[in-house]
Amino acid sequence: EPILSPADNGEWYGDDLQDRFSVVKKGDFDSHKVHDPCILPYKGKFYLYYKGEQMGEEITWGGRQIRHGVAIADNPLGPYVKSKYNPISNSGHEICVWSYNGGIASLITTDGPEKNTIQWSPDGINFEIMGSIKSPPHAIGINRMLDPEEEPTAALRWGLTHEYKNGDWQYIRGFKSNRIIRHSSYTQGAK
């Protein structure tokens, strides 16, 4: 039995379920698929972050129309209730969230107008852009065991990524990163 299912308010046009663009009604942001889950214990509950795909998904100037949602439960096995504030992002691809500073941080990658941003939410639902990141790893898997209060991007220091070499060869590898801090004298130029 699923602990989270797609919204049931979209309607396909025809019988070809492989054609994700032919719809009578799109439905909610997660009417086609829910996947890439990540459960974080937060404020005495369990927050299940997930990727939602919509029936009749469109390709926009920002890429695929992918958004994230959250469902909350008292027990890790559920039942999970989708937040009435979903979708919690208008961009993204894989779920990459971690605890930080009493809230939840999120790395939004690959798709949408806010791709390649680091966001933070004090309540795990309402996220704001806090910074940007160049060339983030694909399908990132972060190390959530690091101290979440160390600094905002500690969770991104090392982890796993899905590497695309070509259509025939894809694999998982490790990644490491460094935090780059630009001092005001660097951006203003030396005098």
Instruction: Give the per-residue pLDDT at 183.
Output: 46
For residue range 44-56, what is the model confidence (pLDDT) as tens digits?
999 999 999 998 8
Q: 10 Å Cβ neighbour count for 130? A: 15
Instruction: Give the per-residue pLDDT at 141.
Output: 83
Q: Classify 102 in phi/psi space as left (phi over 0), alpha (psi -120 to 50) or beta.
A: left
Instruction: Give the per-residue pLDDT at 180.
Output: 59
Between β-strands 81-82 and 117-121, what pairing exists: parallel, antiparallel or unpaired?
unpaired
Residue 78 pLDDT exceeds 90:
yes
The more confident residue out of 18 and 58 is 58
pLDDT tier for residue 58 given thresholds of 50, 70 and 90: confident
The more confident residue out of 165 and 187 is 165
What letter does residue 155 receive in the DSSP assignment?
G
Residue ranges covered by each domain of the chain = 11-179
User: 43-47, 76-80, 152-156, 172-176 — which is least confidently predicted?
Assistant: 152-156
Q: Model's pTM, two decimal places?
A: 0.84
Q: Which CATH superfamily is domain 11-179 in?
A: Glycosyl hydrolase domain; family 43 (2.115.10.20)
- Rg of the chain over all Cα atoms, to the nearest angstrom: 18
What letter does residue 154 receive in the DSSP assignment?
G
Give the separation between CA 87 and CA 172, rounded to whole angstroms: 29
For residue range 22-45, what is the model confidence (pLDDT) as tens digits?
899 999 999 999 999 999 999 999
Give the separation between CA 181 and CA 117, rounded to whole angstroms: 16
Instruction: Give the per-residue pLDDT at 182.
Output: 52
pLDDT tier for residue 2 given thresholds of 50, 70 and 90: very high
Q: 10 Å Cβ neighbour count for 120? A: 17
